[in-house]
Amino acid sequence: MPPKKNKKEGEGEDKFMRAARFGRVKNDLSMGFVGLPNVGKSTLTNILAGANHAEAANYPFCTIDPNKVKAIVPDQKFKYLANTYKPPSVVPAVLTIVDIAGLIRGASEGAGLGNAFLSHIAAVDGIFHLVRAFESDEIVHVDDSVDAIRDLETIQSELCLKDKETLEKVLEKEKDRIRKEKGIARSADVPLGEVFQSAYDKCVKLIESNTPVQTCEDFTMGEVDEIRNFGLITTKPQIYVVNMSKKSFLRKGNKWLPKIQEWVNSHGGGQIIPMSCEFEQELLDLQDDKEGQKAYIEECEEEVKKMGLSGPGFAVKSVVPRLIRSGRQSLCLQSFYTAGPKEVRAWTIMKGTAAPQAAGVIHTDFERGFIKAEVANFDDFKALHKGEASMAKVKEAGKYRQEGKTYIMQEG
């Protein structure tokens, strides 16, 4: 059995499940970076991919076509299995990340490259909302000054305005459907279904208050089913990423952070991840020099000490693993592993996937012909295998079991 979660963990997971309830049920979901021009989207996409895949140039529309990369999911369990079996083929789980060009005020009405960008946002399954909270004379701001709250309002307003336009079209489409089905004249009132009406009204109220639809916890399952067909951008899970200067990141403080927290709380809440592209890029530039990376971290730690700061809260480390894991968690994705002398692989499935559908991820024939699954918990394997690249000790201990068609796969 998987380890029990404490209440706090369970509540957090329920929140992510609520955020993903409007999404597609697929294993190849993607997160997209959304924000104003020159906030660090392309730079951070490069960092997450570990390579310079996007043209990170100081120009408002340098990323016109969405740039798609695969970020390897940090996973200590997978790493342990790979080191134990040492197979010729090692295939980790990845998270697809899309770098979407910057939005500007008026994008919902076609300003800049607005309509194309909004369609790119509609194509991803979750949003990293990147906010600029650093000053720089070298990197121009599209509005000529740094104001994180103004930028949040701009992006959120454009997304909500687009959803408002979508809702108007949804309403007319539903009315046309009912008119045709019941033979009602165009001049007559159309009786909308109770569930559709309540779902529509709740969405309009949220959108008019500039609040993402996905933050609302008051939807019934019937309303969720209706809203899923609306095609709204703000139903997507959203994580707020705050790009600070290296100095602000090291001291874990910035004048914008409390204001951003207050703004997010007043717009339905959400996860906020402070980070620094400046710090992450300098660390990544040393990826082929492990001693150099170690020296760089030690140098940063000395800077922190000089600021009079100490304790676990001021530890100097990359936020990249947290970003990737948070994005994956927001999409309700998880992994199961297959391990043997030829290959160790992490397979991506959605939380709540049953064993036959998980088998189908490996090969569609496995789902069609599914009878049972032979599974073991990673923690049991680690505790029992005694260094052997084999399940023999796990089987001897009775921890290797068979599960049927109703078994719900667990992480690891």
Kindly state the tokens that stand for 89. Answer: 């083929």
Unique residue bearing structure tokens 């959203």: 238
Cβ-in-10-Å burial (0-12, 13-18, 19+) of 97 comes to buried
Residue 217: which pLDDT band, with cuts at 50, 70 and 90? Answer: confident
Q: Assess whether pLDDT exceeds 80 at residue 362.
A: yes
Q: Which of 1-15, 80-94, 165-179, 388-402 has the lowest mean pLDDT?
A: 1-15
Q: Which CA distances in Å does 356 have to 290, 366, 378, 407, 412? A: 43, 7, 20, 8, 17
Residue 62: which pLDDT band, with cuts at 50, 70 and 90? Answer: very low
CA–CA separation, 57 vs 63, rounded Å?
Answer: 9
Q: Which of 33, 37, 256 is nearest to 142 (CA)?
A: 37
Kindly state the tokens that stand for 315. Answer: 């530890």
- Residues with Cβ within 8 Å of residue 92, at least 6 apart in sequence: 72, 73, 75, 78, 346
pLDDT (0 to 100) of residue 100? 84
- Residues with Cβ within 8 Å of residue 270, at least 6 apart in sequence: 212, 215, 238, 239, 240, 264
Kindly state the tokens that stand for 209. Answer: 């208050």
Residue 58: which pLDDT band, with cuts at 50, 70 and 90? Answer: very low
Count other C-beta atoms under 10 Å from residue 210's C-beta: 17
pTM, entire model: 0.85
pLDDT (0 to 100) of residue 153? 92
Q: With pLDDT > 90 as the criterion, what percentage of the chain qualifies?
A: 50
pLDDT (0 to 100) of residue 56? 38
Cβ-contact 237, 281 below 8 angstroms = no
Q: Assess whether pLDDT exceeds 80 at residue 373.
A: yes
Average pLDDT over the chain, rounded to whole?
84
Is 207 or 3 the better-scoring residue by pLDDT?
A: 207
Q: Which CA distances in Å does 125 have to 29, 66, 349? A: 6, 14, 15
Residue 182: which pLDDT band, with cuts at 50, 70 and 90? Answer: confident
CA–CA separation, 356 vs 310, rounded Å?
Answer: 50
pLDDT (0 to 100) of residue 54? 43
Mean pLDDT of 192-201: 94
pLDDT in tens, 254-299: 999 999 999 999 999 999 999 999 999 999 999 889 999 999 999 9
Q: Which of 18-22, 93-97, 168-172, 204-208 has the lowest mean pLDDT?
A: 18-22
